Amino acid sequence: MFRGKEYIYEVYKEQSFSKAAQNLYISQPALSASIKKIEKRLGCCIFDRSSNPVHLTEAGTEYVKSIEKIMDIENRFENYLSNLNQLKTGRLSIGASNVFASYILPAIITKFTTKYPSIKVNLAEANSTHLEDQLFSGSLDFVFDNNPQNELICEKHFFYRECLILTVPQKFPSNSLAQEYQLSIDDIRKGIHLKPATKPVPLSLFTHDPCIFLRAGNDTRIRADKIFQEHGITPKIILELDQLATAYNVSCSGMGITIISDTLAQKTNYSSDMLYYKINSSHTFRNVFFYNKQNKYITKAMEEFIKIAKKTDS
């Protein structure tokens, strides 16, 4: 209905077909023909051509009012897009598990919001399955996770590599047999466990110790099961939990041994009553990614967040 509205509005402003044609860089006959087509389509006249200068008819006046409303909406949306591209407005929703939401993302979000204070950042904390559902539904822009996502549906952005380690309460007698393999929290924070010269502990030394594991389906649990299977050990699982940080805290209380990520060991407040061990298994290493839904439009805010995240990691 409003196709060709710029022709109508130019004639209205100039009150002249000839002046409007000059401004639009078309011939007057072409402009007149275009406006007649519009009037025919509408079924009413827009201009009273009997007057000089030309004036709007009653229907034409209402038509121009509608045009001005449309133009105002277009201008406001153009301004919004401009602000969006300049990161003066917008939203960013990120999902992560407890460890990443607590220890990794806060520093990145702080740097991002300091640079772009007008962007509202939302951080959702949940398990991997729930986060994946939210990503696919479109309620999250990114999921920050070490749990592999379907690459046919997700695009991934590498962030860093982490390693799983064994942590054992110091009071456990099994530690006396593993003294040459023991690492302190400072060793973990220095990355000593990643050095080829650091010897991995024989897991058989802890065969009879009670274990704190995450529930089935969690990536850490899947890897822990494979690690123990590789070493021919059936773990004595006395407690299953949902969060890695909770499992670590329970282990620190002296209830059992557990497998945690070096991310958690390096970031959390540690207990002096714990000892740490390198594990010999390919399943100890995993990559952490930012995932977004495949074919989702990548906004300027998303691009900038990834850039800041990578700079923060480096």
User: What confidence score (pLDDT) does residue 81 get?
Assistant: 79
- Mean pLDDT computed over every residue of the chain: 90
Tokens (6 digits) for 115: 């640079």
Amino acid at 140: L
Under a CB-based contact definition with an 8 Å cutoff, are residues 125 and 97 in contact? yes
pLDDT digits (tens, 9 = 90+) for 183-234: 999 999 999 999 999 999 999 999 999 999 999 988 999 999 999 999 999 9
Please list the residue range(s) of the chain that carry CATH number 1.10.10.10: 5-73
CA distance 125 to 221: 19
Over residues 11-21, mean pLDDT: 88
Among candidates 259, 284, 293, 267, which has minimal Cα distance to 146?
Answer: 284
**pLDDT grade for 271, boundaries at 50, 70 and 90:** low
Please list the residue range(s) of the chain that carry CATH number 3.40.190.10: 91-159+287-313, 162-286
Look up the CATH architecture of domain 5-73.
Answer: Orthogonal Bundle (1.10)
User: What confidence score (pLDDT) does residue 270 get?
Assistant: 67
CATH for 162-286, options being 3.90.950.10, 3.20.20.80, 3.40.50.620, 3.40.190.10: 3.40.190.10
CATH superfamily of 91-159+287-313: Periplasmic binding protein-like II (3.40.190.10)
pLDDT digits (tens, 9 = 90+) for 31-79: 899 989 988 888 899 898 888 888 899 998 998 899 888 888 887 888 7
pLDDT digits (tens, 9 = 90+) for 68-127: 888 888 878 887 777 777 888 888 999 999 899 999 999 999 999 999 998 899 999 988
Over residues 274-293, mean pLDDT: 95
